[in-house]
Structure 1
């Protein structure tokens, strides 16, 4: 081991460190290339399929990222962490100096949840992992394995719910010190999850295009005919936000008082959504390589 205070390294030391340096250089080159491709792809998409917003809405910010998926906010409401559907998948932190890779041990990056000082992430692959990552200690724990885990949601009691996006899919409950337990089964490719104001659990079914509510009375249908539904958000006023993740004709839909209103159309494979208290929201647009911040005028 190198002695503390010694500034020179022997050729053997340099040789031992070179693989790590080469890996860091490769990651750096990959991030630069990804940024360039993101700019090119975004320009092409914008020219051919221009984004359309509902009257009264506007884009107030854009963040360029390669294939963004799920989003997590900082306590002050700013966008802080994003999973990227790159190969390999990455978890990045948005810093004043630009995106910083937190770690890149993903098969296919998907779900993301910031819970206290821990980040819960999932990889949507066969035998995919649901993991807890501590950025301060760089410690990674595997909480569970299952086929195609996607959205991860924290319930008011502190438990975690994971949507298993498969035919005859399930919602799994994860609690510290306990084995994973099935909360709901027989779902048609569940993807989006959110906490409804009345305490029920909102569920977006990708296979059926429905939004369901699960509570003491069982499952109830809240909305239908949402083809390609991916992630879901529940607002404090009881309205629902659904992301319809089509490659070139994706939509962002708000559902309130039994009516569906399209807020944004011609999105290119939208994914993650995060609502802010001021009425604005963040929306990840994977194939356009950007995260948008939308706000009512």
Structure 2
């Protein structure tokens, strides 16, 4: 029996003995602190992803946007699921059980689904993104066909295959929709906050800081990025934090599940960028073959 094995065994026995004398709240605090630290590290990894510095030409930006648009689209499924949970969207109408939460999510939906349009009018951030794509010559055929197939009744998983959305978009959308459709509300809110609202400002600011494309070349995309940095950091992010806190309500089990979901959401985004980065490196002729 080696000294290393004896030392490890002694450590485990000591921890078990120590746990007998510690209150359950201590173990919960230690676990949550570890999960919080792990989530913070994942967010730092996401914020420093090398993909942002590689958006250096309009050709690369077009390919980036043609995949990223699927993530712009699926975000609204998280948003609308929270609206379903926290407000009344059925008839006959019934008052919400938490009017403050209803107000918070309705304000978020208002901005995401019908924000001020450049010039005049209103449109969703998804439609804003499509305009930005068209402005630089990125193809919207794939995403628009994807939307149309769903309007015709096709399930989103089948539609992704039908339009050949690609590995990066398919994996990311599948993960998002699985949460939006099947997870309890606090898990949805965790993915909404930690996978989107709290990380998007840093990601988008990094794109603006690192990319080699001028505002004159892609003005609408720049507006899209700046708008999200402003709104998510100042309004939607804090509102999403309040929503999540109200849904967790100091429940230990829910708190654990929140961190599990949040970490998985950030990892899904990192995987999206990893896979997309590889495809962006592929020569354009080969990628379209």
TM over 0.5: no
User: Greater share of strand residues, 1 or 2?
Assistant: 1
Tell me which structure has the larger Cα radius of gyration: 2
User: Greater share of helix residues, 1 or 2?
Assistant: 2
Question: TM tier, shorter chain?
Answer: under 0.3
Q: Which has the higher contact order (CA 8 A, sep 6+)?
A: 2
Give TM-score scaled by structure 1 length: 0.23
